[in-house]
Amino acid sequence: MARGIVECPSCALDVDRDKHPDVCPYCGYEYPEEKPTKRITAVLFIVLMLLFVFATAC
């Protein structure tokens, strides 16, 4: 998964996450692991919101 260039939250320098996916090469900040449950929870929440909107509209 391509992550691209992002700003390090610790030192505010641009870091290419494709080359350095886990640690900022400038300050050593360790990026947190992205969990798939976060995305699944967000999708589920959106689906539930849409179901609520359509159920109340009918």
pLDDT number for residue 20: 86
Instruction: Give the model's confidence band at 12: pLDDT under 50 very low, under 70 low, under 90 confident, else very high.
Output: very high
Q: Where are the domains of the chain?
A: 5-57
Residue 57 pLDDT class (50, 70, 90 cuts):
confident
CA distances from 25 to 3, 5, 6, 12, 16 (A): 16, 13, 13, 12, 10
Residue type, 3: R
Check pLDDT > 70 for residue 2.
no
pLDDT in tens, 20-37: 889 999 999 999 887 889
pTM across the whole model: 0.54
